[in-house]
Structure 1
């Protein structure tokens, strides 16, 4: 029996599809919330838009880590966080 040995060199290129941006790392808490939600780890200036379950924009906030939600009805909301170049969507529950 003869042994065959081949050597291969591989180069792996990162296409960036799984890279998280600063916006993706921002956490929204607490959930559920009653009066305010906060944005954690906001290293950059961001704007936020909150949408109800029907997709209607119900409020916006700019460059803030704390967003008042006390006037919103109870339900599940989506928050869109943007720094002007990228955006991320998170969900939270309003009690």
Structure 2
């Protein structure tokens, strides 16, 4: 087996790592606060808010938990989002005690 063939997996892993680093850097450089607020407002209006939920119920705040870039507060629900746009956690109101 040729000696250069042993280095092909290392080269492929290096190229894959470089592409992933470029991708995450591109996301971090181009994502805006507006993109995050709109995405979380859409999630609230379609999934978590209930039948009367509207995207206009949401407001963006500075990150309020450790590691959060933005906190999007929609009525009583808070979405904590990282700098890469990943949802860290969701704080929803607790139901009444029974």
Q: Place the TM-score, normalised by the shorter chain, in its bin.
A: 0.3 to 0.5
* Structure holding more strand per residue: 1
Q: Which has the higher contact order (CA 8 A, sep 6+)?
A: 1
